[in-house]
């Protein structure tokens, strides 16, 4: 399996996560859904850790794992699950792809450095794309769309915080970061399920959506992502961000009959183009790199 195929597979899997959240968010509620998601993911990674004989050192790195678990998993997952009760999968996936834009803004504030012209242009395009989505959703859903959209943006901002934290965090193996932060998320989300229990007894369809969300879209997807980082480097692996909305829109249309509106296409183009400018990603360099690797 070459890196390009892994990239497409990861985008398809992560795009599918918004489909599964749409299916399970309303009947289970955000807290129960996400506790189940991170629980299945944590157990999956635990089994793999046993197989690979990897030591987690949970106590030694507890502060790091809980920080990463809060901003990279628990908080954004909960916010997206809340938003999934109201917004469609395509809209959620597009909001998700703005994470690098927020990461650039937070990074500039964090390091007190000026943003370059391409980054500023990318930020502007990203804002236009989000505005197109926000305006359309506000018209189609009404005032009830405001909080879900703010939650989705908050989730992307949380990912941006996690990205900047990771740059200054203790040096821990990528697999252990995923594994440790997932168990930390289990602990962080657990108290919330008593405040917001499930609304319905899950059907077989809902149960399957949750299992796939936890095992495939979270546990196994992290492994696939870190393999890409190892093969291509962080910058090229980040290109998966641009592909996730394509699959989020596709899966929502195929399985939930979500309409692909003009606003969705235009919003996606602006957000993805803006994200590419912010991250400095070049499709040409990406494929040149793959040609050099002989893949």
pLDDT in tens, 220-275: 998 888 777 767 666 566 678 888 999 999 999 999 999 888 888 898 899 888 88
Give the pLDDT score at 96. 92
Residue 44 has pLDDT above 90, yes or no: yes
The answer, as to whether pTM is greater than 0.75, is yes
How far, in Å, are 23, 210, 215, 232 from residue 203 at the CA level? 11, 11, 18, 40
Residue 157, pLDDT above cutoff 60: yes
Contacts for 176-180: CB closer than 8 Å, 24+ residues apart: 176/54, 176/56, 176/57, 176/61, 177/65, 177/68, 178/45, 178/222, 178/223, 178/226, 179/42, 179/45, 179/46, 179/49, 179/54, 179/56, 180/56, 180/57, 180/58, 180/61, 180/64, 180/65, 180/68, 180/69
Minimum mean pLDDT range among 46-50, 78-82, 98-102, 254-258: 98-102
pLDDT for 210: 97
Q: How confident is the model at residue 63 (pLDDT cuts 50, 70, 90)?
A: very high
Mean pLDDT, the chain, whole residue set: 87
Residues 6+ apart with CB under 8 A from 87: 95, 137, 141, 145, 148, 149, 152
pLDDT per residue as tens digits for the range 171-221: 888 889 899 999 999 999 999 999 999 999 999 999 999 999 999 999 999
To the nearest 10°, report the CA torsion of 188, 155, 164, 249.
130
Higher pLDDT: 9 or 225? It is: 9
Residue 287, pLDDT > 80, answer no
Residue 133: closest CA among 100, 196, 87, 194: 87
């Amino acid at each position: 399996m070459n890196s390009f195929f892994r990239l497409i597979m990861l985008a398809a899997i992560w795009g599918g996560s918004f489909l599964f959240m749409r299916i399970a968010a309303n009947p289970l509620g955000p807290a129960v859904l996400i506790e189940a998601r991170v629980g299945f993911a944590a157990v999956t990674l635990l089994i793999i850790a046993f197989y690979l004989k990897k030591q987690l050192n949970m106590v030694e790195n507890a502060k790091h794992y809980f920080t990463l678990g809060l901003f990279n998993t628990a908080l954004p997952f909960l916010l997206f699950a809340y938003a999934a009760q109201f917004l469609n999968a395509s809209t959620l996936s597009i909001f998700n792809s703005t994470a690098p834009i927020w990461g650039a803004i937070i990074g500039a504030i964090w390091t007190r450095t000026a943003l370059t012209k391409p980054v500023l242009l990318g930020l502007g395009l990203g804002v236009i794309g989000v505005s197109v989505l926000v305006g359309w959703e506000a018209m189609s859903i009404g005032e009830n769309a405001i909080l879900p959209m703010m939650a989705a943006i908050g989730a992307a901002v949380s990912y941006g915080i996690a990205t900047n934290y990771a740059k200054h965090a203790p040096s821990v193996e990528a697999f252990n970061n995923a594994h440790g932060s997932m168990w930390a998320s289990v602990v962080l989300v657990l108290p919330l399920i008593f405040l917001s229990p499930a609304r319905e007894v899950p059907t077989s369809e809902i149960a399957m959506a949750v299992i796939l969300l936890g095992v495939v879209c979270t546990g196994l997807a992290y492994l696939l992502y870190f393999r890409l980082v190892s093969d291509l480097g962080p910058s090229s692996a980040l290109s998966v961000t641009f592909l996730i909305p394509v699959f989020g829109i596709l899966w929502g249309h195929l399985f939930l009959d979500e309409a692909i509106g003009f606003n969705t296409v235009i919003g996606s183009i602006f957000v993805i183009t803006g994200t590419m400018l912010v991250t400095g990603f070049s499709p040409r360099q990406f494929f040149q790199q793959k040609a050099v690797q002989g893949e």
